[in-house]
Amino acid sequence: MDPTRFETHPSKYRHWKLSVAGDVATLTMAVDADHPHRPGYELKLNSYDLSVDIELADAIQRIRFEHPEVKCVVFTADLDKVFCSGANIYMLGLSTHSFKVNFCKFTNETRLYLEDASANSGLGSLCACKGTTAGGGYELALACDETVLVDDGNSAVSFPETPLLAVLPGTGGLTRLVDKRKVRRDRADVFCTTAEGIKGKRAKDWGLVEDVVSRSKWDDAVKARASAIAARQTVTRGPAIQLPELAPKVTDKAFTYRYVELTIDRAARTAALTIKAPADAPDLASADTWSLRAFRELDDALLRLRFDLPEIGVVTVRTSGDKAQVLAHDEAVAKATTGLAREIRLLQRRVLKRYDNTARSFYAVADSRDSCFAGSLLELALGADRFYMLIDGDEAVSVQTSVANQGFFTMSTGLSRLDARFYGTPAAATKVLARGAEGPIPSEEAEALGIATIAADDIDFEDELRIAIEERASLSPDALTGMEASLRFVGPETLETKIFGRLSAWQNWIFTRANSTGEHGALTLYGQPERPQFQWKRT
């Protein structure tokens, strides 16, 4: 199978049209039915698959970096009477279980990034649904700040997954419906079990949309509403930069970027992720500055790991280079007052969240004097499931904190990774930051402070690490996915943790059940005359 390409550009879009006019951008959904991500199905009625969402994610990111003048993005469609019919059902039916879950996860991360843009980047959003809006199409609308629906007697919003497919809205729909839009749970219950959805005045009265607008007033109403959203924005971005292509070298054995490399051992079902420190001084006017480019590369590598390497279970994470350079870049980004610097830090935070949400066992390893788990790269060790450090006689193997570890890179829980690590003893996090400000922390001290999981000398280190990796790789991937998702997100429940918790557990489980994907399941038989046959026992 060809490797998945997550990089694209508006000039290459097949499914979206991006236009910018003043402070409003318009993303028009114009899905090319004949160009799905994989052959075997057509993307009819603006249904979407991974290729559509890759373009959407790219467009949102490019607006944030390349069009700082834009204060509102409007989502619309070029089909008459249809905004979006949701994820393509035949694509889901043909996909592996792993692909389905990772597709839902990527789609939802894109929705969260749109909400992040509204909360932190002065980029509001309006979903203008001039036609039927179903499933994932309505989930996109829920991720926007406001939604308007055409009032034509036919167009409706709907979540038909439960009645038609025996699954549930897989990209955060249920959580956003009641937690974000605050729809009453009894009304939400009716809505989510009514396949044809709800339209017109009731959709507005129940809080499913902000407004319903007649076709005759549609264009003017959408324009006025987008202008009002743009006028409310107080956060500025910029200066504008153009995001260059990453163009990694991809082989069967490795993904190689400028600062990131992922090498693959298929026989052992393991991979090794290495991130290099910068070699040059920070240049926040350049799109190739390390703080931006290295994290964009890491993001691309994580997505390729998820989709193209499902058999890889354990990933060792190493860093190499000069700690002082990492700290200098962290300080430069933190002290800069430009909107661009803020966008770089927000992108770093999003990538680290992608790392947290990746269903692989991550073992951070500091086993050489060249190791540089410092500042923003220390977040990778703090976010890993375990952190192994070699004890070197002259204390050359060490870690160090920076301003990057002081709370900006929050997880989905709202906690920093240091706060999550020391959830029961918050004073310990303060102690680590104070000690890290003094200089490098060698391995034994890092273990004593609680940063390292295990520190061992060179007599025991190699064997201990090897055995730990082999043992981990021998365990059930399903059990590990559930265990890691539970252990990584200690502390408060948020909209994000609810979405990913339910996606990791319930959607994962439902996709394997006979009522949906069995021989006589609803998803399997969708579009066929035969009716599904359900197993009626509840768990």
pLDDT tens, residue by residue, 182-220 = 999 999 999 999 999 999 999 999 999 999 999 999 999
Which tokens go with 32?
């090319």
Rounded to the nearest integer, the mean pLDDT of the chain is 95
Query: Can you say whether the dihedral through the CA atoms of 258, 348, 356, 436 is positive or negative?
Result: positive
Whether residue 442 has pLDDT greater than 90 = yes
Q: Which CATH number fits domain 250-482: 1.20.120.530, 3.40.1640.10, 3.40.50.2000, 3.90.226.10?
A: 3.90.226.10
Whether residue 168 has pLDDT greater than 90 = no
Confidence of residue 395 (pLDDT cuts 50, 70, 90): confident
Q: Is residue 193 exposed (0-12), middle (13-18) or buried (19+ Cβ within 10 Å)?
A: exposed
pLDDT in the model for residue 509: 80
Confidence of residue 504 (pLDDT cuts 50, 70, 90): low
Whether residue 508 has pLDDT greater than 80 = no
CA dihedral 299, 301, 305, 308 (to 10 degrees): 110
Q: What is the pLDDT of residues 339-349, one digit of tens each?
A: 999 999 999 99
Q: Where are the alpha helices (DSSP H) in 207-359?
A: 218-231, 290-308, 323-335, 339-356
pLDDT in the model for residue 503: 67
Whether residue 505 has pLDDT greater than 80 = no
Q: Which range (138-142, 170-174, 308-312, 395-399) has the least confidence? A: 170-174
Helix axis angle for 339-356 and 97-120, nearest 10°, is 150
- Please report, rounded to a whole number, the percentage of residues in the chain having pLDDT higher than 70: 99
pLDDT in the model for residue 152: 94
Concatenate the DSSP letters of all residues of 198-227 into one string. EEHHHHHHTTSSSEEE-GGGHHHHHHHHHH
Identify whether the C-beta of residue 6 lies closer than 8 Å to the C-beta of residue 303. yes
- Please report, rounded to a whole number, the percentage of residues in the chain having pLDDT higher than 90: 88
Whether residue 169 has pLDDT greater than 90 = no
Confidence of residue 251 (pLDDT cuts 50, 70, 90): very high
Whether residue 506 has pLDDT greater than 80 = no
Task: Report the distance separating Cα 425 and Cα 430, nearest Å.
Answer: 10
- Domains of the chain, residue spans: 11-231, 250-482
Task: Report the distance separating Cα 467 and Cα 23, nearest Å.
Answer: 56
Task: Report the distance separating Cα 158 and Cα 202, nearest Å.
Answer: 12
pLDDT in the model for residue 178: 95
Q: Average pLDDT, stretch 3-30?
A: 97
Q: Average pLDDT, stretch 448-471?
A: 96
pLDDT in the model for residue 204: 98
pLDDT in the model for residue 444: 96
Q: Do 11-231 and 250-482 have matching folds? A: yes
Whether residue 391 has pLDDT greater than 80 = yes
pLDDT in the model for residue 501: 80
Q: What is the pTM of this model?
A: 0.96
Task: Report the distance separating Cα 437 and Cα 424, nearest Å.
Answer: 23
Confidence of residue 511 (pLDDT cuts 50, 70, 90): confident
Which tokens go with 129?
């649904």
Confidence of residue 1 (pLDDT cuts 50, 70, 90): low
Q: What is the pLDDT of residues 127-157, one digit of tens each?
A: 999 999 999 999 999 999 999 999 999 999 9
The residue written with tokens 């000039």 in the block is 11
At the topology level, CATH places domain 11-231 in 2-enoyl-CoA Hydratase; Chain A, domain 1 (3.90.226)
